[in-house]
């Protein structure tokens, strides 16, 4: 694992143990809570848990290095997360395209 500032990046090629996934979700929860608050963090964690448990293929797509890079670029293109409804719909479409 590599550390950058206060976050840790998992080696995307290495197999992940259950503990690795739990540690990553714990770290995600902390950063998410500080960024978007408790309610949004709870919803995100429920979503991620469902994806991991019900759709391992989607989980593999999400953690693919190319997918991660595309999603990071998409996130970076949005300033402060402030978006109107039309932009949110556009983001959903872009994320769907990236994951398909």
**Residue 96, pLDDT score:** 80
b (16+ CB within 10 A) / e for 72-96? eeeeeeeeeeeeeeeeeeeeeeeee
Cα R_g (the chain), whole angstroms: 14
In the block, tokens 């932009």 appear at: 87
| CA–CA separation, 65 and 61 (whole Å) | 9
Res. 92 pLDDT band, cuts 50 70 90: confident
DSSP 8-state symbol, 13: T
Q: For position 73, what pLDDT does the model report?
A: 81
Mean pLDDT of 24-39: 81
pLDDT tens, residue by residue, 37-90: 888 888 888 888 888 888 888 878 877 788 888 877 877 777 666 667 777 778
All structural domains of the chain with their residue ranges: 1-55, 64-100
């Amino acid at each position: 694992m590599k550390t950058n500032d206060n976050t840790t990046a998992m080696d995307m090629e290495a197999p992940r143990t259950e503990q690795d996934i739990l540690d990553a979700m714990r770290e995600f929860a902390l950063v998410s809570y500080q960024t978007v608050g408790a309610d949004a963090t709870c919803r995100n964690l429920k979503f991620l848990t469902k994806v991991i448990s019900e759709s391992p293929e989607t989980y593999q797509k999400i953690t693919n290095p190319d997918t991660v890079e595309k999603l990071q670029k998409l996130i970076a293109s949005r300033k402060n997360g402030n978006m109107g409804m039309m932009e949110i719909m556009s983001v959903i479409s872009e994320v769907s395209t990236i994951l398909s």
